[in-house]
Amino acid sequence: MGADHELAPAQAQTWESLLSVLLWLPATLDSRLKKWGLSHHEFLILWCLTQHGDRSHTMSSLAELSRVNPSHLSRIASRLEKQGWLVRAQDPADARFTIASLTEAGSAKYSEAAPTYYATLREHVFDRLTPDQAAHLGGITGEIARSLDPRAGL
């Protein structure tokens, strides 16, 4: 394998560290959220809905916001719907779209689980960084995110 197909040693070390975070942090969040009956992806769907004024989104916009592909989102929404945390209905303005809405029970579930979620992020990310490091990390990850999706950071 030629050198142009490999990472430089410092790049490989950085990639291994980033890969560890990309894999282990979501797994840790899944583990911590389990006591609330939620997966990390389910929590993110509830979070996305809580961030919108009327606590509703079309399924397609929710898929974009949560960075979950539509078929995976459909499975997640079905699980959340069975728990009574989300409802789906045809968009009255355009029957081609389905609207996902957070229920009161879903809002309560989000509120119960959120402290655990944010405590986990502080424990494994922000408490380990100085404010300057956190700001640099935000800039670095924002730049990477924009290279993957130009809408990132909007």
The domain that holds 119 is classified in CATH as 1.10.10.10
Q: How many CA atoms lie within 13 A of 95 on its CB side?
A: 0
Q: What is the span of the domain harbouring residue 78?
A: 37-148
Asked if residue 97 belongs to a domain, the reply is: yes
Residues paired with 99 in a beta bridge: 58, 89
Average pLDDT of the chain to the nearest whole number:
92
Mean pLDDT of 68-89: 94
Judged by DSSP in three states, 58 sits in strand
pLDDT tier for residue 154 given thresholds of 50, 70 and 90 = low
Specify if 22 maps to a domain.
no
The number of folded domains in the chain is 1
Whether the per-residue pLDDT at 1 is higher than 70: the answer is: no
Residues 9-15: what's their mean pLDDT? Answer: 94
In the numeric block, the tokens 């944010």 are attached to 118
28 within some domain: no
User: Does some domain include residue 95?
Assistant: yes
Q: What is the pLDDT of residues 122-137, one digit of tens each?
A: 999 999 999 999 999 9
Distance linking the first and last C-alpha atoms of the chain: 39
CA distances from 148 to 28, 69, 94, 143, 145 (A): 24, 15, 30, 9, 5
Say yes or no to pLDDT of 5 above 90: no
Contact by Cβ (8 Å): 118, 104 = no
103 neighbors 111 (Cβ within 8 angstroms): no
- Number of Cβ within 10 Å of residue 63's Cβ equals 22
Q: What's the average model confidence in pLDDT over 44-53?
A: 91
